[in-house]
Amino acid sequence: MMAAAQTPPPVLLSSACERNKEPILAVLRDWLPNKALVLEIGSGSGQHAIFFCQQIAGLCWQASERPEVVADLRSQLVAVPGASLAPGSRLLEPIELDVTCCDHWPRPSEGNRVDALFSANTCHIMPASALPQLLAGAARLLRPGGLLLLYGPFQDGGVHTATSNAAFDAHLRSLDPAMGVRDAKELQEQACSLGLEPLADVAMPANNRILVLGRRR
């Protein structure tokens, strides 16, 4: 477990995280096994990691970020006192992980296989070419029957499910043509070819979803 440091409490950086953490928590409670080792991809501010470990007992959460920003994540998590976490829950030292380094994903600092991979609002930020790498990496790291949970906005068969998502997609592409709201059906088809199977598609507030995929046994 990370030691509590003599530093100020973490600054909460993402208002989106504050809005979506409770609805996501409810889905994690439904799907995660007791005593789960979870790897989070693109942990950002660390708010999800902290909140879920404060709310769910027996969770071992491995946050991660791209090498260029992992120090910011580490400084957020190091300020969280272990005593504030739920019984038996632990926040591991964050690791560097860029999903496009497909052959060199580091293992979590504990355990070779994880029970679940979680990632929020990353699919539309990373290029579309990174999605098969994310899925393949998940299939390598998940134990058989383990879960991949992807939170965010998604299209269906090239059609946006809400005008707000279409506007968000246009905004992302204007910032960087490599970003954009991804297609759930395309992602699920890619996942099937990589050893994962779609298990659920959970509607979330503000036209977001959680796609749940399971590693084949």
Ligand X SMILES: C[S@@+](CC[C@H](N)C(=O)[O-])C[C@H]1O[C@@H](n2cnc3c(N)ncnc32)[C@H](O)[C@@H]1O
Tell which residue, 199, 201, 217, 197, has the closest CA to residue 209.
201
The 63-92 contact track toward ligand X, x by CB under 6 A, reads --xx--x-----------------------
Distance CA 84, CA 64 (A): 21
Cβ closest to ligand X, residue 99 vs residue 114:
99
Shortest Cβ contact with ligand X: which residue?
44
Which residues lie closer than 8 Å to 100 by C-beta, 6 or more apart? 126, 127, 129, 130, 133
Cβ closest to ligand X, residue 26 vs residue 144:
26
Q: How far is the CB of 121 from ligand X (least distance, A)?
A: 4
**Rounded alpha-carbon distances, angstroms, from residue 131 to 7, 73, 194:** 36, 23, 11
Q: Which of 7, 34, 84, 100 binds ligand X (CB under 6 A)?
A: 100
Q: Do the beta carbons of residue 41 and residue 16 sit within 8 Å? A: no
Question: Taking CB under 6 A as the criterion, which residues in 48-67 touch ligand X?
Answer: 65-66
Tell which residue, 128, 141, 125, has the closest CA to residue 196.
141
Question: Taking CB under 6 A as the criterion, which residues in 18-47 touch ligand X?
Answer: 41-45
Q: Which of 99, 139, 141, 150 binds ligand X (CB under 6 A)?
A: 99
Instruction: Supply 150's token pair.
Output: 């992807």
Where do contacts with ligand X occur on this chain (CB under 6 A)? Answer: 14, 16-17, 41-45, 65-66, 69, 97-100, 120-122, 125-126, 130
